[in-house]
Structure 1
Amino acid sequence: MTVDLHHLDEGPRDAPPLVLSGSLGSTLEMWRPQVAALTERFRVIRVDHRGHGGSAVPPGPYRIADLAGDVLALLDRLGLDRVAWCGLSLGGMVGMHLASEAPERISRLTLCCTTAHFPDPTPWEERIAAVSSGGTGPLAQGVVARWFTPGWAAAHADVVAEAEAMVAGTPDDGYLACCQAIEAWDHRDRLGAISAPTLVIAGSGDLATPVEPHARTLAEGIPGARLEVLDAAHLASVEAADEVTALIAEISTP
């Protein structure tokens, strides 16, 4: 059963549609740095994954296919046959699934700080255990410490505090079930089926999904994909906001 995703639909109704989908532990507010510029050129739909933000929290575990099914149901409700997609981390995984399994729905694809697979499941097993026993709150500071490079974080304490509150505010059950989806995620053998023009954005300081092997695997596995490496950590859309916004606009323009 699909979830009626909480979303914001902004920008001109007749502009090309662009969906922004965020990371584990985020809400659609993580895309605030992109909204003003992108809504000048696109109809921008920001979404909360199931288990996050204003979306419902069905019983877990989830799979990436479940999250992708939620998106397809939303696009149908909005009357959108085909959209450009930009997903960061978990949102990128959803975008990969859509682009390979429902290619007629994705016109252009931006994959930011994400992966087709985590070879070592141990960190996810440990995080699942931690959330199961103590919830998301105690994890927030450690999670966000990997979202930004140390120097940037030190200079933007207010942004870091907002990010920590966003993670801590994620429903425990939703966060846990999405961790289980990521733990089981392996899309490497389907990358070649992605036909949409694809941009892979990576952060040189990203400890969660480093350029090697994660971004490189995507760039080499998706036909014709282009790789851009920015001076940022995992939440490059915030730390390198202007560069990421420009790249999204470039690849998403029909």
Structure 2
Amino acid sequence: MMHAIVNGVGLHHADQGPKDGPALVFANSLGTDLRVWDALLPHLPAGLRLVRYDKRGHGLSEETAGPCDIALLADDAAALMRHLGLGRAVFVGLSIGGLIGQSLAARHPDLLAGLVISNSAAKIGEAQMWRDRIAAIRADGLSGIAPATMERWFSPAFRARGEAAPWQRMLERQPREGYIACCEAIAAADLRADSAGLDLPVQLIAGSLDGATPPAIVRATAALIPGARFDEIEGAGHIPCVETPQAHAAIITRFLKEIGHV
């Protein structure tokens, strides 16, 4: 277990691979922890330095009081990267992690050699939708929203095999206030202007069966970003690193090779 106090918060993280290898930093989705990447990592090229972390209020990271926004979460990521001595890394963000990545690229461009935005967009949903979700959680806890969340996260076939069950338990066991704080951050986030000004290689990835960030909104964000690449994984839901890890890793690997990061 690795833990660092950065930007005023304790962040749990994992740091694998050679310390002098090209670095990838992974930011997980709302309601998950860094284990969401476990199935993906073995399919990436050897020799990479692979850093995963739990954002504030998730997993084993510290839950902090007060407001939370995407800029703060991006500054957390930047502080952790500097703490670990990372420079010119590729940041791989899933869902809210993709929002964090876009903000990180806008606020701390010196840290990044490239950005992968997976199952995310420059704006995700409307504020009222997130307010309704927060109200439901306050009334019934995370277990109350978990079944519907699994339907958005995973394809019918994946759920029919019973493979969503451990991910539902992971969601239900996240700190409630940490989850709510991140919902508030997503509700307030509109990064369309910032993302249109990004100047680095960007790869976007969608899942054809994603019920949380459908391919159309991921593709629309790709159209905003100059030179961005877009790929859609057929049959995948919102969490392709779990459901289709080989296909997800293949797109990331191709991107790394295209930009000379492997």
CA distance in 2, matches of 1:3, 1:97: 18
Map 1:113-128; keep pairs closer than 5 Å.
113-128=119-134
Give the Å deviation of 1:133: 2.3
Residue pair 1:140, 1:164 contacting (<8 A) in 2 also:
yes
Count of matched residue pairs: 251
Deviations 1:1-37 (A, max 9, x none): 5323110000122210101111000000000111223
Give the corresponding residue for 1:162: 166
CA distance in 1, matches of 2:225, 2:18: 31
Counterpart among 46, 50, 67 of residue 52 in structure 2:
46
Cα root mean square deviation, aligned: 1.4
Q: What is the one-letter code of the residue matched to 2:89?
A: V
Instruction: Extract structure 1 runs of 4+ deviating beyond 3 A.
Output: none
In the alignment, structure 1 residue 192 sits paired with structure 2 residue 167: no
Counterpart among 236, 244, 249 of residue 245 in structure 1:
249
In the alignment, structure 1 residue 69 sits paired with structure 2 residue 72: no
In the alignment, structure 1 residue 99 sits paired with structure 2 residue 105: yes
CA distance in 1, matches of 2:221, 2:47: 27
CA distance in 1, matches of 2:75, 2:182: 14
Q: Structure 1 length normalisation: TM-score?
A: 0.94
Moved more, 46-55 or 188-197: 188-197
Residue pair 1:2, 1:66 contacting (<8 A) in 2 also:
no
Residue pair 2:94, 2:118 contacting (<8 A) in 1 also:
yes
Give the Å deviation of 1:102: 1.2
Counterpart among 230, 234, 239 of residue 233 in structure 2:
230
Residue pair 1:109, 1:251 contacting (<8 A) in 2 also:
no
The DSSP-based 3-state class of the residue aligned with 2:186 is helix
Give the corresponding residue for 1:89: 95
Give the Å deviation of 1:41: 3.2
The DSSP-based 3-state class of the residue aligned with 1:122 is helix
In the alignment, structure 1 residue 221 sits paired with structure 2 residue 224: yes
Counterpart among 165, 175, 180 of residue 171 in structure 1:
175
Residue pair 1:109, 1:252 contacting (<8 A) in 2 also:
no
CA distance in 1, matches of 2:125, 2:118: 19
Residue pair 2:56, 2:73 contacting (<8 A) in 1 also:
yes
Give the corresponding residue for 2:4: none
Give the Å deviation of 1:175: 0.4
The DSSP-based 3-state class of the residue aligned with 2:30 is coil
Residue pair 2:151, 2:211 contacting (<8 A) in 1 also:
no
Deviations 1:50-71 (A, max 9, x none): 0000100001331001111111
In the alignment, structure 1 residue 58 sits paired with structure 2 residue 61: no
Moved more, 191-200 or 36-45: 36-45
Q: Structure 2 length normalisation: TM-score?
A: 0.92
Task: Could you tell me which runs of 5 or more consecutive residues in structure 1 were left unpaired when the two chains were aligned.
Answer: none
